[in-house]
Amino acid sequence: MVNVTHLGRAPTDAQKVAVLFRQPVCIVEGCNRTRLEFDHRTLWAQTRYTRVDDLQAPCAHHHRQKTLYGWELVDGTGKRPMVSPHDPRHPNHTSQNEAPP
């Protein structure tokens, strides 16, 4: 697979077009909004690059849930559920994070 890497945080126009071609509606399962934002799957602060294969496009509502409230898409590719930090499917969920009964 060929990928274009950009060292800036925001995707280039070419990267945006590529993401929108691959994913014309919100990445969250059950959401078909077409006004999308661009989001790094891996935090930009960790990678310091922007790549098409590391971008996804949630709608503004779902991007806000991820950014402000810790919601995440379940692991995988394509459209998938977005879950709260307390959901066992959350990528950062471990049994140590659960509250005692």
List pLDDT tens digits, range 10-69.
899 999 999 999 999 999 999 999 999 999 998 888 988 899 999 999 999 999 999 999
Torsion sign (Cα): 17, 22, 27, 31 = positive
Q: What are 12's two structure tokens?
A: 């280039």
* 67: phi then psi, degrees, rounded to nearest 5: -70, -45
Residue 76 lies in a domain: yes
Q: Report whether 21 contacts 14 (CB < 8 A).
A: no
Residue 39 lies in a domain: yes
**Containing structural domain, residue 44:** 17-95
| pLDDT higher than 60, residue 94 | no
Residue 11 lies in a domain: no
Residue 25 lies in a domain: yes
Residue 70 lies in a domain: yes
| Whether the model pTM is above 0.75 | yes
| pLDDT higher than 80, residue 89 | yes
3-state secondary structure of 44: helix
H-helix or E-strand spanning residue 40? strand 39-40
Residue 54 lies in a domain: yes
Please count the structural domains in the chain: 1
Q: What are 100's two structure tokens?
A: 């005692």
Q: What are 46's two structure tokens?
A: 């960790």
Residue 21 lies in a domain: yes
Residue 2 lies in a domain: no
